[in-house]
A and B are shown apart, each in its own frame.
Chain A
Amino acid sequence: MNAVPPIRSRGPWELAFERLRRDRAAIASAITILVALVVALTAPLLAQLTGHSPIAQFTETGLSPTGIPVGPGREFWLGTDGLGRDVLVRIAYGTRISLLVGVLASGLAVLIGAVVGIAAGWHGGAVDTVLSRFMDVVLSLPFLVLALALAALVGPGLGVSIFLIAFFSWASVGRIVRAEARAIREREYVQAARAIGAGSARIMFVEMLPVVSATVIVYATLLIPSSIAFEATLSFLGLGVPPPTPTWGNMLTDAMAYYKVAWWLLLFPAAALLSITYAFNVLGDSVRDALDPRHDQTIGAGRGGAA
């Protein structure tokens, strides 16, 4: 029998992925992110390899007789900090926190933003008014002041950081999704779904969500670097994950006391922070270009903007 091979259609996602694969900037940033991911996952391995736990203080070998941190060398590849701890191992462990917070916080923010935005855009009327005003309020809050107050109130920690970052990030996603959902509501395919008898939930999640998901994915990618920077800010101010757990932010805080004599304390965590946020920003821009090739303007944190 001459069986017809099943015809497979390349959907919009597949086409976007094709475009992304041909984008060299996207590949470079994806590799950077992948490296960071590997470093994060293998941090305990690195600790074993070097024999340096991230919180162990090597007062004998890691500090000069006068108590000054030692620079990069054979024993400590990226030097030690003021307490004689291995900077390399600490950066590796810090990567875990940064990626975890970046991905979870922006994931949470995008989830809330998408649901609230679609609900506001689809329902319109009073629901839209209430949700939109609420988003305006959240967006107008002085986030650093409030974050400081809240973190001080409930005490610093990983969960608190993620929640705070998500809370101050979702509204910008929500606003954009709402605008898009309002436009989609008037489209004929939504009318068609209603004519068939689809209810609100089905229209919101089956008809609208796939259409706004391109925007949502772009925003998620662009929110990750700002979440990472946000987490570093909180840690830097002592309101993130509490010491001795290493984060890039609290490493930078520690560096403030020593950077005149120990440049590596400032340079390496800052370089890690910069490269990962920059990579995510570039990737976000590329993802947006891939999903919507006609769109060539920079939205939100642009290429090199927030990095």
Chain B
Amino acid sequence: MTAEVLVQLREVVKEFPVQSRGAFGGRSERLQAVAGVSFELRRGETLGLVGESGCGKSTLARCVVRLLEPSAGQVLFDGHDISTASHAELGPYRRRMQMIFQDPYGSLNPRRRVGSIIGDPFAIHGVGLAGERRRKVQDLMALVGLNPEHYNRFPADFSGGQRQRIGIARAIALRPELIVCDEPVSALDVSIQAQILNLLDELQGELGLTYLFISHDLSVVRHVSDRVAVMYLGRIAEIAPSEALYERARHPYTRALLSAVPVFDPDEGRAHASVLLTGDPPSPLDPPRGCRFHPRCPRAQARCAAEEPQLIPRAGDGPEHTTACHFPLADGETMSTGAAPGVTP
């Protein structure tokens, strides 16, 4: 099952200059929001990207669709490096990749009618005649479950879930291949979340979409993703097919995230005890040396502070399941034991 690669990220880095203002001029520091991320997105799949707030997942998403220009590394879309392309060069690629935003209130211009918002992609890329566009927009509205008669309304007339449908209609207008969903349901009620997730699922089948699905909610990601990547402080900690990640998480951070998901059915049982992470993630302005997770990791050893682990298959996993950890968890192992097996401190 080697599907065609649609997007490939190679050591993508995104830094932001940060001015710290002092009395005598500020010092200029660099915040590394994304610190060398490589993975690939295959045509037709959904890759979930999870991590705590501030881990750089939204920044990474914006680098993929080139709302931000990566500071280093490459983003290959269908084999073409778009990481440094100009506005004009990006034009054709903009049609092929789109984004759905987190905030259904912030992502729609409150002063414009939804018909004109959804019609934007046609207007910008000169698709169809003006008369034709209205029909196209109404078709899109019907496709995402909106009443096409509401063409003339303003965003304020819609609920959060309906607004997210408007955002989705705009994103699929030009029939893109890739859609980056940046926390598309985290601002919605739980009952509405399911509707939107189902809509995204239907559209994927109908239009053959590829999703990069970003969320901090592991249960949502599990529901929608074929593969899941776990991000911590600007780097990928673990990436694996959904099933494998949820059943056999290797990285202590992944395990900790999973144990933080509430269990609704106590009889379901789980292989691992609850793992509590202590402290906040370190500042990305001054990331820890070695493994970025080691100051918070219950299994950390001296090596973890000295040497950064590679993202490679561990503990007998196949090439699909890679983990960046020197002391990965074995199948069924719980984290409460503290030290890694076979290693003397």
Q: Contact between B109 and A191 (Cβ–Cβ < 8 Å)? A: no
Given A12-B110, A197-B91, A210-B109, check contact A191 B67 (CB 8 Å).
yes
- Chain A residues near B90: list those with CB within 8 A: 197
**A65 contacts partner chain B, Cβ-Cβ < 8 Å:** no
- Interface-facing stretch out of A3-11, A36-44, A158-166, A299-307: A3-11
- Interface-facing stretch out of B72-80, B147-155, B191-199: B147-155
Interface centre among B65, B91, B107, B149 (most CB of A within 10 A): B107
Pairs A-B, 10 closest by C-beta atoms: A197-B94, A9-B153, A210-B111, A188-B107, A188-B106, A189-B109, A195-B99, A188-B101, A196-B121, A7-B149
A-B contact pairs, 28 of them (CB 8 A): A6-B149, A7-B149, A9-B113, A9-B153, A9-B154, A11-B113, A12-B111, A187-B106, A188-B101, A188-B103, A188-B107, A189-B106, A189-B108, A191-B67, A191-B99, A192-B101, A192-B167, A195-B67, A195-B94, A195-B99, A196-B120, A196-B121, A196-B124, A198-B124, A206-B112, A211-B109, A211-B111, A213-B111
Shortest CB–CB separation between residue A17 and chain B, in angstroms? 14
Cα distance A206–B119 in the bound complex, in angstroms: 13
Shortest CB–CB separation between residue A201 and chain B, in angstroms? 11
**A193 contacts partner chain B, Cβ-Cβ < 8 Å:** yes
**A199 contacts partner chain B, Cβ-Cβ < 8 Å:** yes
Nearest CB in chain B to that of A194: its residue: B67
Q: Which of chain B's residues 150-209 have a Cβ closer than 8 Å to chain A?
A: 150, 152-154, 156-157, 167, 170
- Chain A residues near B125: list those with CB within 8 A: 197
Q: Contact between A12 and B154 (Cβ–Cβ < 8 Å)? A: yes
Interface size class of A (residues with CB under 8 A): 20 to 34
Shortest CB–CB separation between residue B305 and chain A, in angstroms? 37
Q: Contact between A9 and B152 (Cβ–Cβ < 8 Å)? A: yes
**B227 contacts partner chain A, Cβ-Cβ < 8 Å:** no
Q: Contact between B170 and A197 (Cβ–Cβ < 8 Å)? A: no
- Chain B residues near A187: list those with CB within 8 A: 106
- Chain B residues near A9: list those with CB within 8 A: 113, 150, 152-154, 157
- Chain B residues near A192: list those with CB within 8 A: 99, 101, 107-108, 167, 170
Q: Which of chain A's residues 1-58 have a Cβ closer than 8 Å to chain B?
A: 4, 6-9, 11-12
Point out the residue from A7, A188, A195, A211 that lies within 8 Å of B153, measured CB to CB. Answer: A7
- Chain A residues near B124: list those with CB within 8 A: 196-198, 202
Shortest CB–CB separation between residue A12 and chain B, in angstroms? 6
Shortest CB–CB separation between residue A172 and chain B, in angstroms? 23
- Chain A residues near B113: list those with CB within 8 A: 9, 11
Q: Contact between A195 and B109 (Cβ–Cβ < 8 Å)? A: no
Q: Contact between B101 and A198 (Cβ–Cβ < 8 Å)? A: no
Nearest CB in chain A to that of B116: its residue: A206
**B294 contacts partner chain A, Cβ-Cβ < 8 Å:** no
